[in-house]
Amino acid sequence: MKSRFILLLLTLLPLFVHAAEPVAGTDYVEIPGGKPYAPLDGKVEVVEVFGYTCIHCAHFQPVLGAWLKKQPSSVRFTPLPAAFGGYWMPYARAYYAAARLRLLGKTHEAMFKALHETGSLPIQNASDEEIAAFYANYGADPKAFVAAMQSPATALLLDRSRDFAVAAGIEGTPTIVVNGKYRVTARSFDDTLRVTDYLVARERAARK
């Protein structure tokens, strides 16, 4: 009888561990003086700092997409391209150019596929013209796209993205930040979103 009881506990242990409340310092980090990237109408902000050239971000994208479909209107999701320099920068500028030209709905997931599945775009040393040719497949004028990538407005957005990432202590991608206050440090994609749900609920409850 005792051995059966122990066996039952061992079987249920993973469920108890999975359901455990996230722990500060282990599952997430509190950001001293942290503020949302772009607060809006009292919504809880969830920022994903990502990079198109990051294979982990490419793998996270479908998991994140499924999670986003379940979120209420009180949650505002903001992708934020990492501006770490080097080969990160052309594609970070491309993200903001695509946003300005209202192409992200068509191109966000397609960019991950071009870089990590089909190889139709290079991870490193991509020229602005080469990237613009990709967006031309989705209705962009190549010259207008290059101009948007190189515009002062895009440069300002990159600076702002970099400032937020530095303030939040971002060291890699993908990283989730909730309301500018919490940086999620869970190790798996599913656990990252579980912790995010916990922190979102915590922020929503604090506003009631």
How far is Cα 15 from Cα 98, in angstroms, rounded to an integer? 42
Two structure tokens written together for 52 = 């198109």
pLDDT band at 2 (very low <50, low <70, confident <90, very high): very low
pTM of the model: 0.88
pLDDT band at 57 (very low <50, low <70, confident <90, very high): very high
CB atoms within 10 A of CB 176: 23
- Residue ranges of domains in the chain, CATH in brackets: 20-206 (3.40.30.10)
What element of type H or E holds 49? strand 44-50
DSSP letter (8 states) at residue 30: E
How far is Cα 196 from Cα 182, in angstroms, rounded to an integer? 9
How far is Cα 177 from Cα 75, in angstroms, rounded to an integer? 13
Q: How far out from the chain centre does Cα 42 lie? A: 21
Average pLDDT over every residue of 13-23: 64
Q: Output the pLDDT for position 208.
A: 67
